[in-house]
Amino acid sequence: MTAEQIQAMIAAGLACDHLEVSGDGRHWQAVVVSAHFEGLRLIGRHQKVYATLGNKMHNDEVHALSMKTFTPAEWAKA
């Protein structure tokens, strides 16, 4: 998997105001800003992002993904 592929999968499954994915081919970092995170705790936000990757997490195509998730209001303050 490439950063671009992961970014495209997340964007296809979750409307994002801002999305960055970087990594080394095995360990990935993502910054995801979405209005869909409104009212969700951290675990709920991460579950929404993981859901966009489908089986990629389970079959080890995406080995590790660390995330920073924000609502648009939180992102504006950051």
Beta bridge partners of 22: 29
All structural domains of the chain? 3-67 (3.30.300.90)
Q: Over the stretch 18-34, which tens digit does the pLDDT of each residue have? A: 999 999 988 999 999 99
Q: Residue 64 corresponds to which tokens in the numbers above?
A: 């590790």
Average pLDDT, the chain: 95
Least confident piece of the model among 42-51, 53-62, 64-73: 53-62
Beta bridge partners of 21: 30
Q: Are 10 and 65 in contact (CB under 8 A)?
A: no
Helices of type H across 1-78: 3-13, 42-52, 72-77
Distance separating alpha carbons of residues 29 and 42, to the nearest angstrom: 16
Confidence tier at 42 by pLDDT (50, 70, 90): very high
3-state secondary structure (DSSP) of residue 55: helix
